[in-house]
Amino acid sequence: MPRLFVALDLPEPVKAGLEHLCGGLPGARWVRDRQFHVTLAFLGEVEGPLARRVAEGLHGVRADPFPLELRGVGHFPPRGTPKVLWVGVDGGPELLALHHRVHSRLERLGLQLEERRFAPHVTLARLVQPPLPELLRFMDEHMAFREGPLPVTDFQLMSSVLGRSGAQHRVEASYPLFARRPG
C-alpha cells in the first residue's frame, strides 16, 4: 500500500544541481531518481476513501506564492549518530504558514500527524555509520551550497511505494497557490 505525504516538489534543474552533491561519502544511501522534495506533512498509509478525502480537502488550503532558498548541508539528528544528510531550506514565514495550513486541514480531515517540530530540508541520503572524518569533509565542502530563490507556486500530494531499490515517489495531485487579493 502506498504511503502519502504532502510536499513541495522541486524543479528539474534544481534536482540536477542537488544530484551533483550525491557522492563521495561512504555509508550514504543517496536519494535516487531525482526524488528530491520538501516534506510538509507525512501521512503514512492512507486507504481509499480517506485518501480521496485528503486529495479533495487539500484544495481548501490557501496560501500566497513565496520564494524558497536551499542553503548549506547538515544531518539529523544534530547530536548522536548521523542518520540523514540534508540540504537546508529557507522559505521564511510563508513556508511555515503553508506547513501549518496543510497540517490544520489534514487534522480536520481526521488524520493523526507527527508532533515533531517542522525542520524544512531536502534529504540527500540516509546514512549508515559514515566515517566521521569523511562526513565532516563532505559537510565542509558543501556548506556554501546555495540555490534560489525559487518561486513556490504550488504543492503536491505524493505517494511513496517501497521497493527493493528504495522508495518510488509519484505526484498524485498538485495544488496551486494564489496571491490573495488586497482589500
Q: Which of 175, 78, 176, 85 is nearest to 127 (CA)?
A: 85
Please report whether residue 183 resides in a domain: no
Could you give the number of structural domains in the chain? 1
What pLDDT was estimated at residue 33?
81
Using one digit for the tens of pLDDT, what is the confidence trace for 82-110?
999 999 999 999 999 999 999 999 999 98
- Prior bond to 77 cis, omega within 30? yes
Parent domain of 32: 3-176
Cell, residue 137? 569533509
Termini Cα distance of the chain: 45
Are 175 and 181 in contact by the 8 Å Cβ rule? The answer is no
d(CA 45, CA 168): 15
Angle between helices 48-57 and 92-108 (to 10 degrees): 140
Q: How many angstroms separate the Cα of 77 from the Cα of each of 87, 125, 131? A: 14, 13, 16
Strand partners, 39: 7
d(CA 17, CA 136): 21
Among the residues of the chain, which ranges form H helices?
12-19, 48-57, 92-108, 132-142
Cell, residue 31? 536519494
What pLDDT was estimated at residue 72?
95
- Is 20 in the active site? no
Is this prediction's pTM over 0.85? yes
Catalytic residue (one of 100, 121, 142, 169):
121
What pLDDT was estimated at residue 167?
75
What pLDDT was estimated at residue 68?
96
Full pLDDT tens readout for the chain, 183 residues: 678 999 999 999 999 999 999 999 999 999 988 899 999 999 988 888 888 999 999 999 999 999 999 999 999 998 889 999 999 999 999 999 999 999 999 999 988 888 888 999 999 999 999 999 999 999 999 999 999 999 999 999 999 887 776 778 889 999 999 876 655
Please report whether residue 32 resides in a domain: yes
- Is 121 in the active site? yes
Residue type, 69: E
Q: Say which CATH number the domain at 139 has.
A: 3.90.1140.10
Catalytic residue (one of 37, 75, 103, 169):
37
What pLDDT was estimated at residue 182?
58
d(CA 177, CA 31): 27
Please report whether residue 16 resides in a domain: yes
d(CA 125, CA 51): 28
